[in-house]
Amino acid sequence: MPRFIFTRHLSDIVPRSIPVEGETVGKALEAVLIRYPRLQSYLLDDQGQLRTHVRIFVDETLMDTFDDPVTASSEVYVLQALSGG
């Protein structure tokens, strides 16, 4: 089962690591969002697209699309860029 791993600053919304079912990044992410619906506004815009400051890596490779495949042993890292000044 693929495992989603989230940054610590999302820990009040979602656990750091979650195993989920899914054959693609999109299907696995849907499973996460069903369990943790508050997470959706942090990751996706109103059109259902990944927000510009969010990056998803599958086994250390930057995701191209939500159709990218994941395997039972995949680690999917969800990162948000932080800014300030």
Q: What is the pLDDT of residues 2-54, one digit of tens each?
A: 999 999 888 899 999 999 999 999 999 999 999 999 999 999 999 999 999 99
Say what the pLDDT of residue 84 is: 64
Does the predicted model carry a pTM greater than 0.85?
yes
Is the predicted pLDDT of residue 81 greater than 80, yes or no? no
State pLDDT tens for residues 68-77: 999 999 999 9
CB-based contact 30:22 (threshold 8 Å): yes
DSSP the chain: --EEEE-GGGTTTS-SEEE---SBHHHHHHHHHHH-GGGHHHHB-TTSPBPTTEEEEETTEE--STT-B--TT-EEEEEE-----
Domains defined along the chain, listed by start:
3-80 (3.10.20.30)
CB-based contact 13:38 (threshold 8 Å): yes
Is the predicted pLDDT of residue 85 greater than 70, yes or no? no
